[in-house]
Amino acid sequence: MAFPHFLPEKPGKMIAVHVAFESRAAQRGRRPKAPSYFLKATSTLAESGGNIERPAGTELLAFEGEIALIIGKPAKNVSLEDAWEHVAYVTASNDLGIYDYRAQDKGSNTRSKSRDGYTPIGPELIDARLVDPAALRVRTWVNGEIVQEGGTTEEDLIFPLAQFVADLSQHMTLETGDIILTGTPAGSTVIVPGDVVEVEVDIPGELSSGRLTSTVVEVPASFDPKLGNLPQVDDKQREDAYGDRESAGLAPLPDKELSAELKQKLLNAPTAGLSAQLRNRGIEQCVIEGVYPQRQGTKMVGVARTLRFVAGREDLFKTHGGGLNEQKKVFDSVAEGEVIVIEARQEPGSGTLGDILALRAKTRGAAGVVTDGGVRDFEAVKEIGLPVFTQGAHPCVLGRKHVPWDSDIAITCGNATVVPGDIIVGDDDGVIVIPRELAAEVADAAIAKEHEDEWVAKRVAEGNSLDGLFPPTGQNKQDYLDFRDAQKSEQEG
């Protein structure tokens, strides 16, 4: 790749911002509290008018139109107020990446974003001294149709452009020629061979970088499995590459949220009553067998997020057990109100979570965890306060019996099938699984039956026989209905 001739000098380093635009954060559902970064090799730099090579056999090449800052004089521990003085130029850039390597890179983006030619830049430089850093605009076109547009006002950016210079200068010296890629707005998606991508940075009606143009072409793959990982994709990578599940052609995920009204009803209804109502509707296999709360008096209601372990095998644990494995991914991304349900094959011979994972789930707002395996750091997990239902304590690590394998699929936990999106309810009697479409109906019926049982219990306490009373029939049934209707009228009045 030819080095862009118009750059003042070859940069020593190129640093990219993960998320900077409010629109991108909203699209991803994650808004950072502080900037975070990754490095791109300077050998990825390319000029306008060149080709973007997508290796044969890969599918998730995505563009990201961005504003590039080019450092004009060294910056070390500079203040936010002085940081822009260290920027010589701004221009357009395209922070390309292959999502087929994103998971294998484990957050570094080294292979996914540092292929030769994956950072086109230019074609013209804008003198930073002539621009207001809060007045810039970046736009991207694919095949002539505009697909991205973002400004640099306080409303558009999570962090001002100068903050990246000031922040990075706390940790390293930014040298003359270094480049900072400042994040992309919403609209980034997958491109295919034949597509033409254009990016422009400007101050509307005034200065412009000109359109940075690149054409996607397919080239033969050159991945040697003896040297490293092969490209690999899954639905999570497809969703992120395209921007959302619909654009990726994926079915929508079940709604993670329960209405406040339904959640309260399920909290009020005992699992015993809920299971009886499910049985009345023909669903017998609704109980997750053998699991009980760490702490008596626990009530848990949430939407199922599933995780599956396969039986331990040493070679598979080497490839799937380390790093950000499937177990850590689920605990690191569980949404508020979700219950992590773990299939551990009713094998309690090692822990399936410990205190650190429980703390992560708690801080993310998880409603609880259900595992038909064991729990390490049992007392420490209990003190965290996250509702956890388990077979019991075990001191050994995951790899003794389990390999974390996959997630967000139908699983079997304690002989009960759990599908992502099912409603999970737990109390001192155990845990039950409720199909989402039946939840409201079952909750109402269980609460009504609970009310009836309370009336029956009072009659029994008064010395009445169970005959014709449990359940109420004949005159007893009428007496209960009169009592219920009177209470209802009193509440409404």
Domain for residue 3, yes or no? no
Domain for residue 458, yes or no? yes
Q: How far apart are CA 98 and CA 149, in angstroms?
A: 22
Domain for residue 144, yes or no? yes
Domain for residue 2, yes or no? no
Per-residue pLDDT at 253: 66
- Mind listing the pLDDT tens digit for each residue in 451-464? 888 888 899 899 99
- Mind listing the pLDDT tens digit for each residue in 100-129? 999 888 788 999 999 999 999 999 999 999
Which residues form the domain of 204? Answer: 14-242
The chain-wide mean pLDDT, for the chain, equals 93
Query: Which contiguous run of DSSP H or E holds residue 459?
Result: helix 439-461
Known binding residue 467? Answer is no
CB–CB of 85/249 below 8 Å? no
Of the chain, the percentage scoring pLDDT greater than 70 comes to 98
Contacts 24+ apart (CB under 8 A), 454-460: 455/480, 455/483, 455/484, 456/480
**Same structural domain for residues 269 and 222?**
no
The CATH number that applies at residue 286 is 3.50.30.40
Q: Is the torsion defined by CA of 194, 195, 196, 197 positive or negative? A: negative
Per-residue pLDDT at 245: 85
**Same structural domain for residues 229 and 335?**
no
pTM for this prediction: 0.63
- Mind listing the pLDDT tens digit for each residue in 330-356? 999 999 999 999 999 999 999 999 999
- The shares of helix, strand and coil residues in the chain, as percent rounded to the nearest 5, are 30, 25, 45
Residue 485 pLDDT level (bands cut at 50, 70, 90): confident
Residue 175 pLDDT level (bands cut at 50, 70, 90): very high
Q: How far apart are CA 58 and CA 461, in angstroms?
A: 72
Q: Hey, how many other C-beta atoms are within 10 angstroms of the C-beta on 364?
A: 14
**Same structural domain for residues 71 and 193?**
yes
pLDDT score of 1 more than 60: no
Known binding residue 400? Answer is no
Per-residue pLDDT at 207: 96
In Å, how far are 8, 14, 36, 159, 198 from 20, measured between CA atoms? Answer: 26, 16, 9, 6, 21
Contacts 24+ apart (CB under 8 A), 30-38: 31/158, 32/158, 34/167, 35/159, 35/163, 35/164, 35/167, 37/168, 38/107, 38/108, 38/109, 38/113
**Same structural domain for residues 279 and 308?**
yes
Residue 493 pLDDT level (bands cut at 50, 70, 90): low
Residue 27 pLDDT level (bands cut at 50, 70, 90): confident
Residue 254 pLDDT level (bands cut at 50, 70, 90): low
Domain for residue 255, yes or no? no
**Same structural domain for residues 353 and 450?**
no
As a whole number, mean pLDDT of residues 165-174 equals 98
**Same structural domain for residues 273 and 349?**
yes
- Identify which of 262, 222, 86 has the alpha carbon closest to the alpha carbon of residue 165: 86
Known binding residue 279? Answer is no
pLDDT score of 221 more than 60: yes
Per-residue pLDDT at 255: 62
**Same structural domain for residues 475 and 388?**
no
Domain for residue 6, yes or no? no
Residue 5 pLDDT level (bands cut at 50, 70, 90): confident
- Identify which of 405, 437, 246 has the alpha carbon closest to the alpha carbon of residue 319: 405
First to last CA, the chain: 81
As a whole number, mean pLDDT of residues 123-139 equals 97
Known binding residue 210? Answer is no
Known binding residue 61? Answer is no
Cβ neighbours of residue 481 closer than 8 Å, sequence gap 6 or more: none
* Domain count along the chain: 3
Domain for residue 268, yes or no? yes
The CATH number that applies at residue 210 is 3.90.850.10
- Mind listing the pLDDT tens digit for each residue in 352-400? 999 999 999 999 999 999 999 999 999 999 999 999 999 999 999 998 9
**Same structural domain for residues 185 and 284?**
no
- Strand partners for 415: none
**Same structural domain for residues 475 and 429?**
no
**Same structural domain for residues 34 and 96?**
yes
- Strand partners for 423: 303, 434
What is the phi/psi pair of residue 12, to 5°?
-75, -30
Known binding residue 485? Answer is no
**Same structural domain for residues 142 and 182?**
yes
In Å, how far are 12, 160, 165, 328 from 35, measured between CA atoms? Answer: 21, 10, 11, 23
Pairing of strands 61-62, 97-98: antiparallel
